[in-house]
Amino acid sequence: MDLEGKVAVVTGAGRGLGRAYAEALAAAGAAVVVNDVDAEGVAQVAKAITDRGGRATAVAAPVGPTATANRLVETAVREYGRLDVMVTNAGILRDRVLWKMSDDDFDAVIDVHLRGTFTCARAAVAHMRAQGTGGRLILISSPAGQRGNFGQTNYAAAKAGIVAMARTWAMELAKAEVTVNAVVPVAATEMTRTIPAFAALIEESERTGQPLPDQVRKQDGMGTVEDVASLIVFLASDASDAITGQAIGIGGDKLSLWSHPTEKAVRYADGGWTAEAIADAWPIGEPETYGVQ
Ligand SMILES: NC(=O)c1ccc[n+]([C@@H]2O[C@H](COP(=O)([O-])OP(=O)(O)OC[C@H]3O[C@@H](n4cnc5c(N)ncnc54)[C@H](O)[C@@H]3O)[C@@H](O)[C@H]2O)c1
């Protein structure tokens, strides 16, 4: 995939998946504005890219506020003359069950993921529409947003909201030829290391230098950050011109297309439903499962 001439912003690119996205986009020829709240991390990533002959500029700032979003777009335009791709990847976890989750836990996660995606996408689109050559919004969701997950009220809400925004913006931006898709990644990172079921597997793989077991790469769909970066490069490229409004999963050996919520069973009652009539009619279809397995 040749991204020569394209300019991308990747938020949360100081380590983990964001770093892999930035490095893969740069390796494919794009100039990249790399952002992270961790100034040292993001400076190292920019240096690693430029040391390899790529083009990268670091912006250390917290995603969430509009001022950061504007600064990222202004940096892309000032340094590289345009903006083609916005990847909203920055993220944090503050896991607690509902009855123990504080206002701060809730607000911090919503601020980085949901508000950060909104402000960065809005700033990018203002420029892309004026530029008049289309563009790409690549939003980062999560299996937790698609299914719900124990202890992740804040995170699941933010990640589900991000997919809802992708569908909404795909409609609003079709005329401007800006495609909008949500990526649903799974990869071994510092974030997944905090999940007990994955921690031991990741440590074993690092200790032995062996890839994660085939079953993990296929059934759990979890592998390396580089596995996920391939999808970001594809979505950034001209080859994905016709793809918009989708939630696309990737991890390990698995690539998947998530379905969108739809009415799967419908009944009608003449003149409307009473509570008693609903009780008599229920269930009207096979109940849905929920939660990340
Ligand atoms: N790792 C997975 O399996 C997985 C699964 C689903 C979704 N995701 C999502 O992918 C993204 C990256 O996850 P990761 O596993 O690489 O996590 P990570 O914790 O390794 O990296 C996240 C990066 O975001 C940065 N960051 C945090 N708050 C920020 C802010 N306000 N502004 C700018 N940067 C900020 C952190 O400093 C860090 O460098 C997140 O949005 C995460 O929710 C990851």
pLDDT in tens, 112-166: 999 999 999 999 999 999 999 999 999 999 999 999 999 999 999 999 999 999 9
Position in ligand 1 atom list of the atom nearest CA 13 = 39
Tell me if 108 sits within 8 A of 55, measured CB to CB.
no
Q: Is 154 in the pocket of ligand 1 (CB under 6 A)?
A: no
The CA-based dihedral angle spanning residues 92, 231, 255, 64, taken in that order and rounded to the nearest 10 degrees? 20
Ligand 1 nearest atom to the CA of residue 111, by list position: 31
Distance (Å, whole) CA 277 – CA 254: 44
Is 268 catalytic? The answer is no
Cα(288) to centroid(ligand 1), Å: 29
* Banded pLDDT at 107 (limits 50, 70, 90): very high
Q: Which atom of ligand 1 is nearest to the CA of 68?
A: 32
Question: For residues 22 and 10, what is the distance between their CA atoms, to the nearest angstrom?
Answer: 6
Phi, psi of 223 (to 5 degrees): -150, -135
Q: Are 248 and 183 a contacting pair, CB within 8 Å?
A: yes
89 CA from centroid of ligand 1 (Å): 6
10's CB contacts (< 8 A; 6+ apart) are 18, 21, 22, 25, 32, 33, 34, 35, 87, 89
- Ligand 1 centroid–CA 272 distance in Å is 47
The helix/strand/coil state of 256 is: strand
Q: What is the per-residue pLDDT across 65-96, written as a single tens digit (0 to 9) for each?
A: 999 999 999 999 999 999 999 999 999 999 99
DSSP annotation of 209: -
Residue type, 15: R
221-268 pLDDT per residue, tens: 999 999 999 999 999 999 999 999 999 999 999 999 999 999 999 999
Res. 50 pLDDT band, cuts 50 70 90: very high
For strands 55-60 and 85-88, give the pairing.
unpaired
What is the pLDDT averaged over residues 211-218? Answer: 92
